[in-house]
Structure 1
Amino acid sequence: MKKIVILFILASFLGLSGCDLNDELNTVPTGAVSELIFWQTENDALLAVNAAYRELDGPGLAYLVTTTDLAMHAPSGPQTLYDIAVGTIDPTNYAIRDYWRRYWIGVRKANDPINNIDKIESGDADLLARLKAEARFLRAYYYTMLTTFWGDVPLVTETLEIQDQVSRTNKTEVVDFIIDELDAIAGTLPVSYEGDNVGRATRGAALALKARVALYNGRYAVARDAAKAVMDLNVYDLYPDYERLFWYEGQSSSEVIFDHQYAVGYSYTNYISRSASSLGGGSGIDPLRSFLLKHEYKGAEDPENEYTGLDPRFGYNVFYPGAEMPNGEIYDSRPSSTTDDKIGSSEFATNYGFNVRKGIDWDIDGANAEQSTINFILIRYADVLLMFAEAKIELNELDESVYSAINQVRTRPTVEMPAITPGKSQNELREILRNERTVELAFEGLRLFDMNRWQIGDAKTEPALGIRYRNEAGEWVIHNRNLLRNFRADRDYLWPIPQEEVEVNSNIGQNPNY
């Protein structure tokens, strides 16, 4: 699918010609490819659908973890994710506005080919049908994100005029629409692609997205059946090396169901920006001690080294004091450190003593880490297995398939955690499953959504703690910046509608208590 990236520039230009991006209606960006020049050939359809892929989430999604209980972002001024993290979120927040804008641009770009491909009178009918199904998948993805962040949102399937002021549709109705759309297109989308088409929406992606949106909205039977349908395709499997799944060698592997793809010369991921200062990073994501404590030990805990015997996924995801870094150095963020990773030593250094390791393929990207082209995985098979298990647990269907799904993830080669044994209660399995999602899917952009649907936002108000180390007196100390984070259960499970949107659309309203 790398070819899609090359076409983004032209397709996006055509799609936005005649209007400035900043002038687009934020609720439902208008403007379509001119019918005078488009909708004549298969290539017109291809360009338009390729443009709709451009608004997919990428590595920026990982930064959402800094608004949860597991990580923080360095103070970065007003109107950022930091405001959300500490509970001072308001409708003028720029980060919220940017997510809102991008998803609505995605909806507009997807609506364009959906409403116009049928005008093409000649060409490969199967190809055109597939392209239209891809656009419907992308629209379903953007609406999944919109409803997950904001709840009720306008349901728009046609091009609007700039002066149109649309009202929000009840979230339940929008979710019904998403599921119906995914049902309608799953059979049209191929099970897999070859060559340059790898990375496009597949049948498995449609079914997995259906499982996700159903699970997020408490439709457990639908989620169970959709996840099982993905499993029954028999085309997906867990990649044997957890760490390398997120390196170049894991791209397009049998675990990847859908991802945002990148290409040299056109788009980059810059994974290093969220990582260690000594590697050239900016500590954009600061994992907290609370993330460490989510991990189990394979044996007895060593009181002198709490990282010994820990679930290996912690070390694959995080740099911790004493860990070997990919450049051969030993990571040392203690206050006594003489390295660039010394806690709080610069604006680029960690504030809590941990840094993100996930997604850094140093052997390939080390010389130019800011221009990594590792794809960002949006849906993978481990998530499907855990969604299947969670749906079954919530339905109280505690059979062998639940244990099998969880244990496949836990016992992956390179992880090899002890299997969960049968006989657990529903509550016990629920807690096991939730913890497994937290550890397995770390820094992939899903924790915020999990916390919101599990209604555990108050966990974010626990002290934001960092590494444990020995002070000058030889006493164990846990780093504490005494940061207070707030969470309002009557407000913060949804984001506010951006203020600029409220001001230009009198029908949009605002979410409660903003």
Structure 2
Amino acid sequence: MKSYKILYIGFITVIFISCNNDLLNTIPKDRLSSALFWQTEEDAIYASNGIYSILGNQWRYASMDAYADIAHYILQWRAESEVEKHTFDASNNVIASEWSYYYTIVQASNSFLENIDLIAEMNDELRVRLKAEAKTLRAFAYINLIMLYGDVPLVTNTLSVEEAKSVPRTSKDIIWDFISEELTSSAADLPAIQEDKGRVTKGVALGLKARAMLYAERYAEAQSAAKAVMDLGVHQINNSYAALFDYAGKNSSEIMFARQYAKDLNPHSIFAFFTPNSLYTQQCQVVPTKPLVDAYTMKPTGLPIDNPASGFDQANPYNNRDPRLYHTIYTSGDILPNGRVLNTLPSNGSGDDITISAENVTPTGWYFKKYVSDADYANPWNCGLNLIYLRYAEVLLTYAEASIELGGAAINQSVLDALNEIRSRDDVGMPDITTLNQDELREIVRKERMVELAMEGLRLFDIRRWKTGEMVIPGTIKGMTYEQPNNPGTFVTVELTGYVKEFRPDKHYLWPIPFRELDLNDNLTQNPGF
């Protein structure tokens, strides 16, 4: 995105109630009058940039997978830990902040769409495009709201205080219809390529529609939308998986939609969020867990490590694995950005020894490598990598999964081509998938999503729509398996016996409606179990 000055125009969604009866009778000071703003094309661009500026930082982005099964939020005193363990209630700060975050995007988009036509003299093509961008961002917010909370209020206009206090929940089926229609119309009005990096495109609108329809189990629509992206000929799989999460791949055509960042100007601190403790003490927040590491199959055979024919060697557990493991996770023996070798084994004396009683040391024996660039080592709080919301790889996976679920003639060579295109990157090179068996392909595509999209914030939603939560989430956190130095041939698996994750299928497939929203609005009802 060009270096436009970003003007945030006071889009407010959280309604503050006071015992002061004069509060609601005062002149609003949180927005600009249309007599001062909404006069020029430049105003419209500033306002559009303001919506993009709301998109979240590494805290939100990198925490989502810890609420599933493939990562662990290691700071047990934070609200995120309650969400991970599923011991939260409707007063949890994470539950409330996610609701406010997505509705901030909704209300910012609504305000933009209501006001842009106040600008009399404006290029019509620009007006149409900016409206389509706002609609796409609003649809993006609603996809996440449905997957987190289920039925939520569908709000398509700015609300007064009284309106906000009485808006009811809308059936998710109605909202899925709305999302499908909005993204279809937006795709028609968006260019295939944007001059300003970071703005949504035709492919993004169609890709988000494919995601939404997959989530809604409308597989024919999901397949069609994904195929439309594929037919654009704009996006392609990057030859290097590792580069996608480093500066070399920042402008790859595979990266379709990402939050834009820049060192010094608009940075984030994901390096510090994932950093091994030996690099920067008391910084690491989230680490990988055993289900993720075990999901990476053997490269020579393509078989899971629990298959006796796979070639897996327990004494050398990271040899000959799917190379995406090496690009996603730091394991013992890896070279760190400071040139030293990572050692997480017990009693090794390094800052990453899992027996150290420090809360920011990995308790599983692994750290995340994705987004941890050597270029950010000198200043881990000044990262300029863009945080990815949608990649072409996900579109191919959506096409494959939707086709698999449709079954019959939809399961054909095009499904295998989509999967193998992802697996054949130069720095991945996994064996081709050849089976056309529906059950086998279903398991394959689910495992592919797990390893390909790890730590990109989609795992929780996959678990929810597959209804596998009670199978994969409950229990203790497990980590690496290592051979005891003084007892050769004896292997020990790290386990956090005092940290137990819960999951009730009658309750935990949705988050609760935040308590403060229920307190403000009598027309909202609570989700089951809360």
Q: TM-score, normalised by structure 2?
A: 0.91
In structure 2, distance between residues paired with 1:323 and 1:264: 26
Cross-structure match for 1:497: 513
Q: 1:344 to 1:31 in 2, by over 3 A?
A: farther
CA deviation digits over 1:321-361, x for unaligned, max 9?
A: 12222322111111122111111522221111110000111
Following TM superposition, by how much is the alpha carbon of 1:405 offset from its aligned partner in structure 2, in angstroms? 0.3
* Mapped contact 1:276–1:283 kept (Cα < 8 A): yes
Q: 1:286 to 1:205 in 2, by over 3 A?
A: same
Q: Does 1:400 align with 2:399?
A: no
Cross-structure match for 1:226: 225
Cross-structure match for 1:372: 383
Following TM superposition, by how much is the alpha carbon of 1:21 offset from its aligned partner in structure 2, in angstroms? 7.0
Following TM superposition, by how much is the alpha carbon of 1:85 offset from its aligned partner in structure 2, in angstroms? 1.3
RMSD: 1.9
Q: Does 1:487 align with 2:503?
A: yes
In structure 2, distance between residues paired with 1:58 and 1:386: 25
Cross-structure match for 1:310: 321
Aligned-pair identity (%): 39
Paired residue type of 1:220: Y
Cross-structure match for 2:312: 301
Q: 1:384 to 1:24 in 2, by over 3 A?
A: farther
Q: What SS does the aligned partner of 2:388 have?
A: strand
User: 299-308 or 65-74, which moves further after superposition?
Assistant: 299-308
Q: Does 1:325 align with 2:350?
A: no
In structure 2, distance between residues paired with 1:102 and 1:162: 18
Q: Does 1:278 align with 2:293?
A: no
Q: What SS does the aligned partner of 1:223 have?
A: helix
In structure 2, distance between residues paired with 1:495 and 1:161: 26
Which residues in structure 2 correspond to 1:240-251 (within 5 Å)? 240-251=239-250
Q: What SS does the aligned partner of 1:258 have?
A: strand
In structure 2, distance between residues paired with 1:505 and 1:30: 24
In structure 1, distance between residues paired with 2:29 and 2:457: 28
In structure 2, distance between residues paired with 1:269 and 1:35: 33
In structure 2, distance between residues paired with 1:88 and 1:471: 35
* Mapped contact 1:48–1:112 kept (Cα < 8 A): no
* Mapped contact 1:56–1:260 kept (Cα < 8 A): yes
Q: 1:94 to 1:241 in 2, by over 3 A?
A: same
In structure 2, distance between residues paired with 1:220 and 1:20: 33
Q: 1:161 to 1:263 in 2, by over 3 A?
A: same
Paired residue type of 2:207: A
Following TM superposition, by how much is the alpha carbon of 1:58 offset from its aligned partner in structure 2, in angstroms? 3.8
Paired residue type of 2:360: F
In structure 2, distance between residues paired with 1:143 and 1:57: 15
* Mapped contact 1:199–1:252 kept (Cα < 8 A): no
Cross-structure match for 2:24: none
CA deviation digits over 1:292-318, x for unaligned, max 9?
A: 111111242223211000111111100
In structure 1, distance between residues paired with 2:129 and 2:346: 57
Which residues in structure 2 correspond to 1:201-220 (within 5 Å)? 201-220=200-219
Following TM superposition, by how much is the alpha carbon of 1:76 offset from its aligned partner in structure 2, in angstroms? 3.0
* Mapped contact 1:68–1:85 kept (Cα < 8 A): yes
In structure 1, distance between residues paired with 2:336 and 2:57: 25
Paired residue type of 1:512: P
In structure 2, distance between residues paired with 1:15 and 1:284: 31
Following TM superposition, by how much is the alpha carbon of 1:460 offset from its aligned partner in structure 2, in angstroms? 0.6
In structure 2, distance between residues paired with 1:226 and 1:391: 10
Residue among 424, 440, 443 paired with 1:431? 443
Residue among 458, 476, 482 paired with 1:446? 458
In structure 1, distance between residues paired with 2:396 and 2:88: 34
Q: 1:2 to 1:120 in 2, by over 3 A?
A: closer
* Mapped contact 1:352–1:466 kept (Cα < 8 A): yes
Q: Does 1:15 align with 2:10?
A: yes
Cross-structure match for 1:66: 66
Paired residue type of 2:71: A
In structure 1, distance between residues paired with 2:180 and 2:17: 28
Cross-structure match for 1:468: 481
Paired residue type of 1:395: L
Q: What SS does the aligned partner of 1:484 have?
A: strand
Q: Does 1:477 align with 2:489?
A: no
CA deviation digits over 1:156-201, x for unaligned, max 9?
A: 111111122200110010111011011111111111023xx11101
Following TM superposition, by how much is the alpha carbon of 1:205 offset from its aligned partner in structure 2, in angstroms? 0.4
* Mapped contact 1:210–1:226 kept (Cα < 8 A): yes
In structure 2, distance between residues paired with 1:30 and 1:486: 45
Q: Does 1:119 align with 2:118?
A: yes
Following TM superposition, by how much is the alpha carbon of 1:497 offset from its aligned partner in structure 2, in angstroms? 0.8
Cross-structure match for 1:166: 167
* Mapped contact 2:352–2:361 kept (Cα < 8 A): yes
* Mapped contact 2:136–2:183 kept (Cα < 8 A): yes
Q: TM-score, normalised by structure 1?
A: 0.93
* Mapped contact 2:354–2:363 kept (Cα < 8 A): yes
In structure 2, distance between residues paired with 1:295 and 1:462: 21
Following TM superposition, by how much is the alpha carbon of 1:387 offset from its aligned partner in structure 2, in angstroms? 0.4
Following TM superposition, by how much is the alpha carbon of 1:31 offset from its aligned partner in structure 2, in angstroms? 6.4
In structure 1, distance between residues paired with 2:349 and 2:34: 63
* Mapped contact 2:315–2:482 kept (Cα < 8 A): no
Q: Does 1:183 align with 2:184?
A: yes
* Mapped contact 2:75–2:360 kept (Cα < 8 A): no
Any stretches of 5+ residues in structure 2 without a counterpart?
19-27, 301-310
Q: What SS does the aligned partner of 1:368 have?
A: coil
CA deviation digits over 1:369-422, x for unaligned, max 9?
A: 111010001000000000000000000121000000001111111000000113
Following TM superposition, by how much is the alpha carbon of 1:33 offset from its aligned partner in structure 2, in angstroms? 4.0
Following TM superposition, by how much is the alpha carbon of 1:368 offset from its aligned partner in structure 2, in angstroms? 0.7
Q: What SS does the aligned partner of 1:370 have?
A: coil
User: 52-61 or 116-125, which moves further after superposition?
Assistant: 52-61
Which residues in structure 2 correspond to 1:329-348 (within 5 Å)? 329-345=340-356, 346-348=358-360
Any stretches of 5+ residues in structure 1 without a counterpart?
none
Paired residue type of 2:331: Y
In structure 2, distance between residues paired with 1:21 and 1:430: 41
In structure 2, distance between residues paired with 1:361 and 1:40: 43
CA deviation digits over 1:473-505, x for unaligned, max 9?
A: 322111111132110101111111111111011
* Mapped contact 1:64–1:81 kept (Cα < 8 A): no
* Mapped contact 2:194–2:200 kept (Cα < 8 A): no
Paired residue type of 2:211: R
In structure 2, distance between residues paired with 1:395 and 1:37: 53
* Mapped contact 1:344–1:350 kept (Cα < 8 A): no
Following TM superposition, by how much is the alpha carbon of 1:213 offset from its aligned partner in structure 2, in angstroms? 0.5
Q: Does 1:145 align with 2:162?
A: no
Following TM superposition, by how much is the alpha carbon of 1:20 offset from its aligned partner in structure 2, in angstroms? 11
Following TM superposition, by how much is the alpha carbon of 1:472 offset from its aligned partner in structure 2, in angstroms? 4.7
* Mapped contact 1:32–1:159 kept (Cα < 8 A): no
